[in-house]
Amino acid sequence: MNILENISLKPYNTFGIDKIARFFVAVKSIQELKEAIEWAKSQKIKLLILGGGSNILLTQNQDALVIKIEVEGIEVVQEDDDFYWVEVGAGVIWHDFVLTSIKNNWAGIENLSLIPGTVGASPMQNIGAYGVEIKDVFTSLKALNIETLQLEEFDSKACSFGYRESIFKHALKGKYVICSVVFRLKKVPVFHTAYGAIKETLEKSGISELNIKNISDAVIHIRQSKLPDPKEIGNAGSFFKNPTIPLEEFERLRNHYPSLPGYPATDGIKIPAAWLIEQCGWKGQRFGEIGVHSKQPLVLVNFGGGDGNEIKKLAQDIQQSVLGKFNISIYPEVNFI
């Protein structure tokens, strides 16, 4: 175990925020993870668990041991006539897993192509895109209890998945390290092309016969045309979650704003926060080194030397203006650390 001291976290978060970790270690196995946690406990030092750093906003130096999860492995652990059950190490890059699934004809996660980050973080907020969430293919996960250092298994129910939510962001926050996840992938694919521009993109490319590779390519194409590449402009994807409002409230607002988009959700109508933010005039605004992306106002960006606290303040200003104009509260998806 190689514990480093005073390490800049800039290369380890997609916002590119330059904060210092007092201690830093990368772990490649559960044994190394246990040793790192024991070391932090013996030194009475806090822990910060890190995957790809694509859903965090660093607002301070971390007086902690930052543990970067690099536990690898993709293994078929069970199979029947219809499904493969695949266990994946928490440190595997999510998109590498998607590409492996496409190569092997394991269907179900093609719509989740190109989402940054690691497999271990995917249950944290039940990652989703283009009409699919990981809860749709999730079977179970193994997580290390930080207090007892025992591995425990969680099924889907125990994870309490919701829209960009799980129990690990709430009641069990900071208590477990996810070490591996088992996904149930289909032998015969069921295509999800109704969402967003997938159908249109496939048609434009002249594709008539669907397969999971075509769908993955279409999703990649759409994402690349809309979302900024963190290698070029620092960001963490959607900064806020899309709010859901009651139907009556939606109808009342639509009388004032006939172009208001809305999608039926289980508990009301889901409104794109991007639309609300754009209506408040934020789209494409730049404030020194930070700003609101010009193509997708739900994405806050760091052009270079931006600070986490500046982005936090911008996020609060945006929340206030959306609340002031529409009386709708929007909440961050990104984890402030």
184: annotated active-site residue: no
> What residue 234 binds from ligand FAD, ligand EPU, none (CB within 5 to 8 A, per partner kind)?
none
Per-residue burial over 167-206, b = 16 or more CB atoms within 10 Å of its CB, e = otherwise: bbbeebeeebbbbbbbbbbbeebeeebeebbbeebbeeee
Q: Report the run of H or E that residue 312 belongs to, with start and end.
A: helix 308-326
238: annotated active-site residue: yes
Given a contact cutoff of 8 angstroms between Cβ atoms, the answer to whether 242 and 272 are in contact is yes
Q: Is 159 in the site for ligand FAD (CB under 6 A)?
A: no
DSSP summary character for residue 241: P
The one segment of 19-27, 47-55, 213-221, 300-308 that binds ligand FAD by CB under 6 A: 47-55
Q: Is 307 in the site for ligand EPU (CB under 6 A)?
A: no
User: Which residues is 88 bridged to in the sheet?
Assistant: 74, 181
Q: Describe the chain by its helix, strand, coil percentages, rounded to 5.
A: 30, 30, 45
Sheet holding 286-287, edge to edge: 234-235, 300-302, 290-292, 286-287
Which of the residues 122, 133, 140, 164 is marked catalytic?
Answer: 164
Among 145, 309, 321, 335, the residue binding ligand FAD under the rule CB under 6 A is: 335
Among 7, 24, 30, 51, the residue binding ligand FAD under the rule CB under 6 A is: 51
What string marks each residue from 12 to 31 as x (binds ligand FAD by CB under 6 A) or -? --x-----------------
User: What residues from 100 to 119 belong to the interface with ligand FAD (CB under 6 A)?
Assistant: 115-118
- Angle, helices 94-103/212-226, rounded to nearest 10 degrees: 150
Among 122, 126, 193, 242, the residue binding ligand EPU under the rule CB under 6 A is: 242
Among 50, 58, 218, 280, the residue binding ligand FAD under the rule CB under 6 A is: 50
Q: Is 162 in the site for ligand EPU (CB under 6 A)?
A: no
164: annotated active-site residue: yes
Q: Report the run of H or E that residue 142 belongs to, with start and end.
A: strand 138-145
Q: Whole-angstrom Cα distance, residue 187 to residue 143?
A: 27
Q: Is 59 in the site for ligand FAD (CB under 6 A)?
A: no
User: What residues from 4 to 63 belong to the interface with ligand EPU (CB under 6 A)?
Assistant: none
Q: Is 90 in the site for ligand FAD (CB under 6 A)?
A: yes
Given a contact cutoff of 8 angstroms between Cβ atoms, the answer to whether 220 and 111 are in contact is no
CB of 200 to ligand EPU, least distance (A): 12
Name the nearest CA neighbour of 118 among 95, 93, 140, 101: 93
Q: Is 298 in the site for ligand EPU (CB under 6 A)?
A: yes
Q: Report the run of H or E that residue 181 belongs to, with start and end.
A: strand 176-186
- Which positions are catalytic? 164, 238, 333
Residues that bind ligand EPU (CB under 6 A): 129-130, 196, 226, 237-238, 241-242, 261, 272, 274-275, 278, 283, 296-298, 333
